[in-house]
Amino acid sequence: EATTADALATAVSVMGPEEGLKLVDSLPDVECMIMVRGQDDIVRTHMSQGFASLLEGS
């Protein structure tokens, strides 16, 4: 699964957060969090639909 995760990470990085999240949300058993530093130096966090549930109870 490491090879698949690496390929998806690369694809999402190239696609950007909006399109990357669409891809991730279309795949079963795949979640992600994307952090992007803008030109204003603010880091914005983007999460796939199921990612937050993975953090519950941690």
Would you say how long the chain is, in residues?
A: 58
Query: Taking 80 as the threshold, does the pLDDT of residue 50 lie above it?
Result: yes
| Percent of all residues in the chain with a pLDDT value above 70, rounded to a whole number | 97
pTM of the predicted structure, to 2 decimals? 0.84
CB 33 within 8 A of CB 47: yes
Residues 6+ apart with CB under 8 A from 44: 17, 35, 36, 37, 38
User: Residue 55: its pLDDT value, please?
Assistant: 87
